[in-house]
Amino acid sequence: MKYKNSIVAMGGLALFLSCATNPFTGSKTLALVPNSQLFPTAFAQYDQFLTEHKIIKGTKDAEMVKRVGQKIAVAAERWLDANGYQGYLKDYKWEYNLVEDKTVNAWCMPGGKIVVYTGILPIAKDEAGLAAIMGHEVSHALANHGQQRMSAGMVQQLGSVAGNVVIKDQETLNLFNQAYGIGSEVGLMLPFSRSHETEADEIGLYLMAIAGYEPMEAANLWRRMSAQSGGQAPPEFLSTHPANETRIRNIEAHAAKAKEEARKFGVTTFKS
């Protein structure tokens, strides 16, 4: 019994002590893996990725990726500095690369390492569309979503370990493992991921607006994404992402607020 109690106590202490603050929402978030460990690992993985893929340099598209990325990074720093988070980006090492790959994807690693795949450019369509994509991906990094997902995965694993320690009957244990695996994924991890996507959509609107881009272009981007997918998607509750229709509604609801926020920084025209 003491061993079981120790597991619970250690887990609770780890959760209590390992928290960070999301600068955009002010909420406390799980941070079981500190950025001091996460960033160097992310940087090394990024460098390894670049050695294994073809990087596009010197083209109009490659220059656009760097230009938009820099504007988004500047917008992030301006917002953070103005809202009491000076120095928040001190350990970031921004880098923006266009990679030749037909996959419709882009991502930003913890610490500001960004990749845009050539396959997403036709859907981005133009600079404002690319700003919506990069603003979204950068927002994941700024809000520490990678750190939170890793931490949530560790908590999920801790719950499984605790169940396997406490339950001795094999038949009951088998039922627990099956139910826990499905329940924690559908009831915890997937909603957690969808909330991150929604949060990144909203933060991304503010960043792209402060960078001088029309935030409503993000809604148009997701309309093109929806058309490209042919409407093929799992039910929202079984997906890591909100449904395209849900995203579009949320973006339309927040676009005006994003422009209002941008005007506080002297931005009065928005490129579309």
What residues does each domain of the chain span? 2-263
pLDDT number for residue 65:
98
Largest CA distance in the chain: 66
Q: Which of 80, 185, 54, 81 is CA-nearest to residue 141?
A: 80
- b/e burial code for range 195-213 (CB count within 10 A of at least 16 → b): ebbbbbbbbbbbbbbbbbb
SS3 of 31, please? coil
pLDDT tens figures, 45-69:
999 999 999 999 999 999 999 999 9
- The CA distance from 208 to 108, in Å, is 15
Q: Which of 145, 125, 142 is CA-nearest to residue 213?
A: 125
Instruction: Verify whether residue 171 is a known catalytic residue.
Output: no
In whole angstroms, how far apart are CA 97 and each of 9, 54, 74, 81, 151?
44, 10, 17, 26, 28
Taking only Cα atoms into account, the Rg of the chain, rounded to an integer number of angstroms, comes to 20
pLDDT number for residue 29:
73
Q: Is domain 2-263 in CATH 2.60.120, yes or no?
A: no
pTM of the model: 0.77
pLDDT number for residue 170:
67
Amino acid of residue 216? M
pLDDT tens figures, 170-199:
655 454 345 434 443 434 444 446 678 889
Instruction: Single out the catalytic residue among 137, 197, 199, 202.
Output: 137
pLDDT number for residue 241:
60
Q: Which two tokens stand for residue 106?
A: 């882009």
Taking 50 as the pLDDT cut, the residues of the chain under it are 1-17, 163, 173, 175-177, 179-192, 234-239
